[in-house]
Amino acid sequence: MPTTVQNYVDGEWVDSETGETFETTNPAAPNEVVGRFQRSSAADADRAVEAAAAATDEWANTPGPKRGRILERTARGLRERREELTEMLVREEGKAEPEAGGEVQRAIDIFGYFAGKARDVGGTVSGSSAPDRRLYTVEEPVGVAALITPWNYPIAIPAWKIAPALAAGATAVFKPATLAPAVSAAIVEELDEAGLPDGALNYVTGPGSVVGDAFATHPDVDAVSFTGSTMVGESLREAAAPDGKRIQLEMGGKNPVVVSEHADLERAVDVVAGGAFGVTGQACTATSRAIVHESLYDEFVDRLVERAESIEVGPGLEGYRMGPQVSESERDGTLDYVDAGQREGATLETGGGVPEGDRFADGHFVEPTVFSDVDPEMRIAQEEIFGPVVAAIPTTGFDDALEIANDVRYGLSAGIVTDDLTEANRFVDEIEAGVVKVNEGTTGVELHVPFGGMKASSSETFREQGEAGLDFFTISKTAYVNY
């Protein structure tokens, strides 16, 4: 039987005032209901904000080490549930089991990391130009933060917003994506069990156009942190602007890997295939463009096609390497881009359809797809697809490749495969992306260093993760003490 999950407001699990729920289903078997969740209203969102606002003083005045102990207990609770949460994530979002297990572990590690950092939130001491003056800064919590997260990393991204917010002493209202809200509810359960004060974190499910907008426009919300599509992010920026709310947006990507004439070809295929087909291409950092030197192009395409055709697709809990897309609409969107690529004249080398066989009868599966003969101006080379599709673009040299790589509206993650040190360093200096990789994939980031994009991929305001992840949730006050 699927579990019905309530909202969590002011320390209590409660039904929505609407009395309505919505269901989530298994992307590999859409007839299987995973859970039922509250279809919340703006009034539900408002009550959550009011609870968070009422809790700000108590949580802000809780000593950092005590906040850290609550986060550490949360990490321990998530660790004890790792297998359960991995299975839940696969059934809810569709990832292959090893990918889901890695994501759950990332959430555990994030809470462990910020448990330590909570002890260090304070400020800095500087030397003064006056002999009888103390000069120092104090870091104070921002107040109430609204956290709005996507479905593609349904426990890791909530973790990397919730943990630094609470470590910094901010209170939060949290809306997970409606396609995958179950696994993030476990974070709330473990924080509750760990002793988090009532109101410090509130969990409300429902449509983004209702709950998310209510969070973004509520006068008691001081900051909005969003990860998701560029279109929704920009609408949230507009909604938050009249009140001057602090904003943090991490959005789409159209991430390139440049394959230099000085590249190791096998490494290049590994890098592109891993970035393009891992997590079914459903990552904002996924590799969607392979910009390949003409001297290696034909052999690279042949090898990439061979790699794509070797990937076994199927339900994540049955040992397959690539799972389904999260929903029918996401799969159909990918297939629409395949059609667009063919209409515009690109060559479909492999994939591009729904795989055949009994195990694919009901799920939202799509084949790993490779296009060649792609012009940089084609839609499949310019627009985010969010599926396992990679466009191979030939190039005449490094400068040409760099120009093509930068000639999109996005700037999240980018990589180069090369054995030439000059090319590697020039790429780091000249690529327009917030995350730059040399000889490794565009996906996968370390939790203790900043993460974020440029151009339409980000608000370019505050970075996430690492020490920088605390900056969004704190305000610096400078003290001059003349004694």
Could you tell me if 410 and 457 are in contact, meaning their C-beta atoms sit under 8 angstroms apart? yes
Could you tell me if 136 and 126 are in contact, meaning their C-beta atoms sit under 8 angstroms apart? yes
The question of whether 250 is a catalytic residue gets the answer yes
Of residues 375, 379, 381, the one with CA closest to residue 289: 381
Could you tell me if 422 and 314 are in contact, meaning their C-beta atoms sit under 8 angstroms apart? no
Of residues 155, 194, 128, 162, the one with CA closest to residue 52: 162
Length of the chain: 483
The active-site residue, picked from 190, 250, 349, 423, is: 250
Of residues 90, 23, 82, 88, the one with CA closest to residue 280: 90
d(CA 322, CA 95): 7
Residues 6+ apart with CB under 8 A from 15: 6, 7, 38
Query: Please, is 302 exposed, middle or buried when counting C-beta atoms within 10 Å of its C-beta (0-12, 13-18, 19+)?
Result: middle
Residue with tokens 């990393």: 153
Run of H or E including 38: strand 29-38
Could you tell me if 186 and 136 are in contact, meaning their C-beta atoms sit under 8 angstroms apart? no
d(CA 137, CA 479): 6
Torsion of CA 379, 382, 384, 387, to 10 degrees: 60
Run of H or E including 162: helix 156-168
CA separation, residue 292 to residues 39, 392, 402 (Å)? 47, 7, 11
**Structure-block tokens of residue 285:** 């950092």
SS3 220: coil
Residues labelled as active-site residues = 250
